Amino acid sequence: MTEPDSIRRHSVPLDAELIKDPEERAKAESKNGLRQYDRTIQHIEDFIKPPPRPFRLRLSRIFDLHRIALNGISAYAGNYRPSHIRIEHSKHEPPPAHLVAELVEEMCDYVNDNFSSRSAVHLAAYVMLRLNWIHPFTDGNGRTSRAVSYMVLCVRLGERLPGTNTIPEQIEKNRVPYFDALEAADTASRNGRIDVGKMEELVEGMLAKQLLSVIDRAKA
């Protein structure tokens, strides 16, 4: 199921785009998406291949994944947004640009401080929500949040997860439940709470589908 563009939640960048033609932009986004996934797997294997390394979520890895997603598309690829941004089809008002760096650092601190004590599903859901809530980039926030979330999930579990229909792929095919989880968290944030419950349910369900695809292939 693919949601119509009229209800699709997406960033509206305030900077000049490098590619004006919609078809050319779509082609570039598709190619960059494949490259971003490959780089995500590379980051995962950096930590899990023998000998395993202690995990730290670093700004450099987040910037790297964003740069690949927006390479050749945005002048701000791999950099924080310099100004305010709005999100169409959402009531969420992202924080001012001058707060972005500190908020992303706090997100990384939370993941690093709780990496051993909190579940993989919780940490992945938290990153997906928090990075979207901060909306630190002019464009590509969703793509980058999903990539970073998947990296955290796999490294926390200590393996590159099997399955051909990965969590990012499932979200790409049907974003409505993903948008619903983001909006639920945004509503909670306006009441002073960080509520990852609905996103945890989404990540858990999609993880089950991804792993089930391995069993389905084994039985075919």
DSSP per residue, 42-81: HHHHHHHSSSP------HHHHHHHHHHHHTTTBTTTTS--
Give 142-161 as a 3 state SS string.
Answer: HHHHHHHHHHHHHHHHCCCC
Which residues does residue 11 pair with via DSSP β-bridges, in sequence order? Answer: 87
Contact between residue 142 and residue 220 where contact means Cβ atoms under 8 Å apart: no
Contact between residue 134 and residue 107 where contact means Cβ atoms under 8 Å apart: yes
Percent of the chain with pLDDT over 90: 80
CA distances from 28 to 10, 32, 67, 97, 134 (A): 17, 6, 13, 27, 25
Of the candidates 100, 130, 109, 102, which has an alpha carbon nearest to the alpha carbon of residue 57?
109
Percent of the chain with pLDDT over 70: 94
pLDDT in tens, 194-216: 899 999 999 999 999 999 999 99
Contact between residue 32 and residue 71 where contact means Cβ atoms under 8 Å apart: yes
pLDDT band at 12 (very low <50, low <70, confident <90, very high): low
CA distance 78 to 60: 9
pLDDT in tens, 35-88: 999 999 999 999 999 988 899 999 999 999 999 999 999 999 999 999 999 998
When pLDDT is averaged across residues 20-36 and rounded to a whole number, the result is: 94
CA distance 49 to 165: 23
- Residues shown for the chain: 220
Does residue 165 have a pLDDT over 70?
yes
Does residue 1 have a pLDDT over 60?
no
pLDDT in tens, 101-134: 999 999 999 999 999 999 999 999 999 999 999 9
Cα-Cα end-to-end distance for the chain:
25
Contact between residue 131 and residue 144 where contact means Cβ atoms under 8 Å apart: yes
- The architecture of the domain spanning 18-81+94-219 is Orthogonal Bundle (1.10)
By CB neighbour count within 10 A (0-12 exposed, 13-18 middle, 19+ buried), where does 6 fall?
exposed
pLDDT at 41: 97
pLDDT at 194: 85
